Structure 1
């Protein structure tokens, strides 16, 4: 039976080729949609790594007129103490501009044992960061006040960077940098991964550096953990405190939960666009399958009537048209799978191989389901053709 079906499809190869191309293109687009969707879901399922609820980010410009380093340090330390003294403030601390969900990145790199480690997120903060953000240490320790004034080169890294540099081995106490690097830093702690780019992006390798007093002039952010009852009135008091300290400064107070919502929407834009394109292609393929099968029914009424006249049941006639559509889909999917398996082999978009394999499976199931649904009704119409009517028309 299948040999006969293949022969019939081959004899109408010009007629079927356009439909096969449409199915192939739809499969590739749906494969891309599923790849992004599965990867986004896998990232979403991982913990955020911080408790961003009721954390406010204050942005400011360094507008102090004094250039004396000690005076500048005193002003910033006094400001932080005043913020912490407010009744609804749980904790607060300085941080560099690349705070979570800010779409601001500072990258660095280093060499270690002849290997080049690049695209590492570089963060600067004080000893309060851990408590303010609710981050967790996996091993080792976080910075203390002694580290803030010490000249020792120490650093905290995240789990992703630890895995990238040291694998399954021990990282605490190890040095980051090449053998001839005079500024090698000692790893004192491993912090749990923080998804700085929102729910749907994975955590990148990260270095968490304790800032020195010279950094006050350029860090530009204060992270404040507030009590649940903090409202707009309290936000106004906080703004007034900042504006009294930094005259003529552009001060902005943002809530991290709102920044996360906005960042997530921005992240999902490519997936939404790709889904819209996929929807148009799916509609096109569905109409194409309907049109081709409907055309076949009208062109093959004599053949169908003859089969019915010699005793072929309606279900067999219907099944033949469904099988033909599924075989066309299979031929397109085989060619599409050849292209799809290149993605994990070539490590395209730097996604895990499991994501591509699952996307390949789901896309194939989706195409088969679509083709089956679109071919059932024309098959039913073919089964309803009466032999006498079909042979009379022929």
Structure 2
């Protein structure tokens, strides 16, 4: 039966060329949709690496500080002491502007054994780990024992470790930045600081020292659960009166994450809507072609019924013909689809393309079956005597 159907469709390949082409184009579009969907879903499933709940990001703006380093340290310390007097504040950490879900990106080139990477740089305090609740994979976090060391100490994330050391041990290794040497003392879990749908990039954490303290215009504050707008207003006034700053701004990390997620999901939704219209057009095209073929083949169907073919067998044949047409399209489409992981198009993991291809094939077969069921049922209801009489 299957061999007969393939032979039947092959003999009518010119008549079915447009339908095969239409299904082929649909497959490639569906393949692209599922590639995007699978990739974003895999990224979404990855752990965030930190806890953004009840954490507020305070942009201190332009602070009225003299150029003396000690003056900046005093201002930061005064602000820290004032904030600690609020019992709702659990922990505080100053940092550079490269905080999670912000639009600031700071990077630098690092080298180890002739391997060069350009990770994101986070200048942080010892309390940074507690504020964001980072997960330490190996080694240790910054502590007062790092004061006055000959070599600067740094902490890297898992992605930076993989790029520089592979599966080897990173603790105690010395990384260079131009002439500066920095010793790795810890490895932390990757954090998704851009959005839930984007993979973590390589990251390096530097401990804030007196040379960089003037640039620490960001403060992360972990609060007790349930803080409302009234407390936010109180905290705003307290900070503004303490540091005499302009452009002071308070944001919630969860709200910043939601905004970043929208930047990723809106293009996906638009893409899905466009693809949805294409799928509807293809479905109508398949439905119309099958309906036309049934009306064109009424005599053939009536003859088959007259010589003993059951309504079910006629319906199965028409659905089978539609599936064979789809199979020709999918064979051609799969040839192009397998080139994506082989050629490393868009540099995505091969598993993403393979899963997307499998889902796209299932989707096309399901679409064809749904579109062929009703015309097949209509064909099965043709009475032999009526069809032959019309002919």
| Superposition TM-score, scaled by structure 2 size | 0.94
- What are the ranges of 5 or more consecutive residues in structure 2 without an aligned counterpart? none
**Mapping of residues 174-323 of structure 1, within 5 Å:** 174-177=173-176, 181-247=178-244, 249-323=246-320
| Contact preservation (8 Å) 1:148, 1:210 | no
| Contact preservation (8 Å) 1:154, 1:186 | yes
Offset at residue 325 of structure 1 (A): 0.6
Hey, what does 1:369 align to over in structure 2?
A: 366
Secondary structure in 1 aligned to 2:204?
strand
Hey, what does 1:171 align to over in structure 2?
A: 170
Offset at residue 112 of structure 1 (A): 2.1
Q: Deviations over 1:338-392 (max 9, x none)?
A: 1111221122223221121111111111111111111011011111111111111
Q: Distance in 2 between matches of 1:88 and 1:72?
A: 25
| Contact preservation (8 Å) 1:314, 1:383 | yes
Q: Distance in 2 between matches of 1:196 and 1:101?
A: 5
Secondary structure in 1 aligned to 2:236?
helix
| Contact preservation (8 Å) 2:151, 2:181 | no
Q: Distance in 2 between matches of 1:84 and 1:203?
A: 32
Structural RMSD (CA): 1.8
| Contact preservation (8 Å) 2:155, 2:185 | yes
Q: Deviations over 1:192-237 (max 9, x none)?
A: 1111122222211111111222333333210001112432222122
1:34 equivalent to 2:34? Answer yes
| Contact preservation (8 Å) 1:50, 1:134 | yes
Hey, what does 2:129 align to over in structure 1?
A: 130
Hey, what does 1:143 align to over in structure 2?
A: 142
Offset at residue 89 of structure 1 (A): 0.6
| Contact preservation (8 Å) 1:317, 1:379 | yes
Secondary structure in 1 aligned to 2:100?
coil
Q: Distance in 2 between matches of 1:15 and 1:175?
A: 69
More off after superposition, 327-336 vs 37-46? 37-46
**Mapping of residues 57-72 of structure 1, within 5 Å:** 57-72=57-72
Decide which of 373, 378, 381 is 2:375's aligned counterpart: 378
| Contact preservation (8 Å) 1:62, 1:246 | no
Report how many aligned residue pairs link the two structures: 391
Q: Distance in 1 between matches of 2:386 and 2:109?
A: 78
Offset at residue 133 of structure 1 (A): 0.7
Q: Deviations over 1:132-175 (max 9, x none)?
A: 11112111111123436655311100111112211111110011
Q: Distance in 2 between matches of 1:177 and 1:274?
A: 44
- What are the ranges of 5 or more consecutive residues in structure 1 without an aligned counterpart? none
Q: Distance in 2 between matches of 1:73 and 1:44?
A: 39
Secondary structure in 2 aligned to 1:107?
coil
Q: Deviations over 1:266-314 (max 9, x none)?
A: 2112221221122112111110111000000111111111111122222
Offset at residue 248 of structure 1 (A): 5.2
Offset at residue 189 of structure 1 (A): 0.4
| Contact preservation (8 Å) 1:148, 1:211 | no
Secondary structure in 2 aligned to 1:15?
coil
Secondary structure in 2 aligned to 1:184?
strand
Q: Distance in 2 between matches of 1:125 and 1:168?
A: 26
| Contact preservation (8 Å) 1:127, 1:148 | no
Decide which of 320, 323, 347 is 1:350's aligned counterpart: 347
Secondary structure in 2 aligned to 1:188?
strand
